[in-house]
Structure 1
């Protein structure tokens, strides 16, 4: 509790208080790749996008690049969270990408969390080298 305000000239006490409560919204989207082997023909740098989903009042989608984002990541699967809305204010968010096991639980060695990113400045953020295709295929 804050200390009382000093008495006013007329002997009354003035009190004041304020709070800043920064709301955080969380949500998740599960992207299931059905017939993974058929996605391997997608050229390097090209993506297959998830359906659009709504979290925090904003529209998002996940970009799945089965043959990497660039030539340096051609042997990897790349994943990016993409903001679809155009908004004047900052939209700061962090994303967590997890490979799920057969029971739907995250595999710790393939669970990566981004830093907080201002998606108003940079529309997408993710991992060019999320998981090596060879490792995924052997699992």
Structure 2
């Protein structure tokens, strides 16, 4: 398992972590991650063939003792501060995709917000944007 992450890996770890927070990562959630990786400028230059391996690495790290805390710290260390809100937005995107935010997802978003030192107003704006995008 990597001891440090690239920016791309950190973003993928955020999305995998959010997908796996309920202990079950669905094919739809993994497909959504793949769509975001293909679409978003934050992933420019990323080799999409590595996505599955990075997802597995993240899952293994999360399953280890104190895995969540370690993964959150790895993400924080891998990203420059200017990309913290991007990481949060990716987590929100995965949480909102099924139009049901579960308590576990809310708690993980709080942990991510606190670890990255994001202010509540920024996070509320990101969350509100996701709600608007996924509304039917």
TM-score by length of 2: 0.26
* Relative contact order, higher structure (CA 8 A, sep 6+): 2
More strand by share: 1
More helix by share: 2
